[in-house]
């Protein structure tokens, strides 16, 4: 199977869907003439023209509102935020318009729109450009929230998101666009709300999503050398959440560590921990542990970034803690 970059997988998903349906268009800052801030939309202006690949002003609230209006009238916009940190400027349109339109209209208006772009930390960008908002958007009824971790999932899930008749938040990472992975040339889609067991294991379950799951892979490899078998579940979507896959795994391993790149309060890991203790409490041999970003704005200094974010050492420590709690 061919190997392509994460950004190429996203580009293929958008381009294939735009060829299939002329009502789909892409808009955002620098998506056209500059080929995208991260070159995700490279070549799309040349193929689809300026009416379907649209450069916008630096005005997220404005172009998000235009997109919601277009979607409410039969078009299918893809809105790229240069970073989801900037989506805060447009959050009124996302939450109060796109997410609520179907309900408030009594089912008369669908809003088939995808808001996509990078989320969470991306190196030395400091506090205002390093925030993970997946749990914020997942808290809102009417939105679906996708956070892929690899090129294969990114392409299949983005195609599904574009075809969905409801608003979808599709969150990537600036540090993943160059990641490479196997992606088939033939047509495929991945359903929203279905987690994937990325690594089979018997001793402990790690649940994660997005780029931070790579920390889980690295930790699992080190733990395997010590005789600890780790099962890794990639949620892929955080609204809806595939609780069944998580609970089935916990019933097998009897231990759970949840890893994510958000602040700890009201996080996706909080929700997973609550659901598992509610529905699989009798199967747990140890308390559920969570690993999140430190409860503070992200610093600029690389040493402080390393201390703030989840890392391999923190995952290994947590796994050993749940493994040896009764020993």
The pairing of beta strand 180-182 with beta strand 3-5: antiparallel
Catalytic residue status for 60: yes
* Rounded Cα distance, 6 and 114, in Å: 18
State the catalytic residue, choosing from 60, 172, 261, 271.
60
Residue from 21, 74, 73 nearest 48 by CA: 21
174 classed as catalytic:
no
CB 75, CB 25: distance < 8 Å: yes
Instruction: Please name which of 233, 87, 245, 53 lies closest in space to residue 167, comparing C-alpha atoms.
Output: 87
Distance CA 161, CA 72 (A): 16
Out of 8, 12, 129, 172, the active site residue is 129
Region 74-89: what's the mean pLDDT?
96
Q: What is the pLDDT of residues 259-294, one digit of tens each?
A: 999 999 999 999 999 999 999 999 999 999 999 999
Overall fold of domain 196-323: Rossmann fold (3.40.50)
Q: Does the structure show a pLDDT above 90 at 103?
A: yes
**Closest C-alpha among 164, 322, 316 to residue 237:** 164
- Integer Cα distance of 64 and 91 in angstroms: 9
According to DSSP H, which parts of the chain are helical?
A: 6-20, 44-48, 60-72, 91-92, 101-104, 134-138, 151-163, 213-225, 243-253, 268-279, 302-308, 312-323
Q: How many CB atoms lie within 10 A of CB 59?
A: 13
pLDDT band at 124 (very low <50, low <70, confident <90, very high): confident
Tell me if 3-182 shares its fold with 196-323: yes
Angle at the Cα of 313 from the Cα atoms of 272 and 318, rounded to 5 degrees: 40
Top CATH class of 3-182 equals alpha beta
pTM value is 0.96
What is the average per-residue pLDDT within 24-34? 97
Cα 237 from Cα 169, distance rounded (Å): 10
Per the structure block, which two tokens stand in for 34? 């500059």
Whether 35 contacts 43, CB under 8 Å? yes
Question: For the chain, what are the domain ranges?
Answer: 3-182, 196-323
Q: What is the pLDDT, as a whole number, of residue 326?
A: 66
pLDDT confidence of 128, banded at 50, 70, 90? Answer: confident
Q: What is the mean pLDDT of residues 212-221?
A: 97
């Amino acid at each position: 199977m061919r190997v392509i970059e994460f950004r190429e997988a996203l580009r293929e998903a958008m381009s294939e869907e735009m060829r299939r349906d002329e009502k789909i268009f892409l808009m955002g800052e620098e998506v056209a003439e500059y080929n995208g801030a991260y070159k995700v939309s490279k070549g799309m202006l040349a193929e689809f023209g300026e009416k379907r690949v649209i450069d916008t002003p630096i005005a997220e609230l404005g172009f998000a509102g235009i997109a919601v209006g277009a979607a409410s009238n039969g078009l299918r916009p893809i809105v790229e935020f240069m970073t989801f940190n900037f989506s805060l400027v447009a959050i009124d349109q996302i939450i109060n318009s796109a997410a609520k339109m179907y309900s408030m209209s009594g089912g008369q208006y669908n809003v088939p729109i995808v808001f996509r772009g990078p989320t969470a930390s991306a190196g030395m960008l400091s506090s205002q450009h390093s925030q993970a908002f997946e749990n914020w958007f997942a808290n809102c009824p009417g939105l679906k929230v996708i956070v892929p971790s690899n090129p294969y999932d990114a392409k299949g899930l983005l195609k599904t998101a574009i075809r969905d008749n409801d608003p979808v938040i599709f969150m990537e990472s600036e540090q993943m666009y160059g990641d490479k992975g196997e992606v088939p040339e033939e047509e495929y889609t991945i359903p929203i709300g279905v987690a994937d067991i990325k690594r089979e294991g018997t001793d402990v379950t790690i649940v994660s999503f997005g780029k931070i799951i790579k920390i889980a892979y690295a930790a699992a490899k080190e733990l395997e050398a010590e005789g600890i078998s780790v099962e890794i579940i990639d949620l892929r979507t955080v609204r809806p959440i595939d609780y069944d896959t998580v609970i089935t795994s916990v019933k097998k391993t009897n231990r759970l560590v949840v890893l994510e790149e958000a602040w700890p309060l009201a996080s996706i890991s909080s929700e997973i921990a609550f659901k598992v203790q509610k529905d699989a409490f009798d199967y747990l041999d140890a308390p559920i542990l969570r690993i999140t970003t430190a409860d503070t704005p992200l610093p600029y200094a690389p040493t402080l970034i390393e201390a703030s974010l989840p890392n391999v050492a923190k995952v290994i420590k947590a796994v050993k803690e749940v493994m040896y709690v009764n020993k």
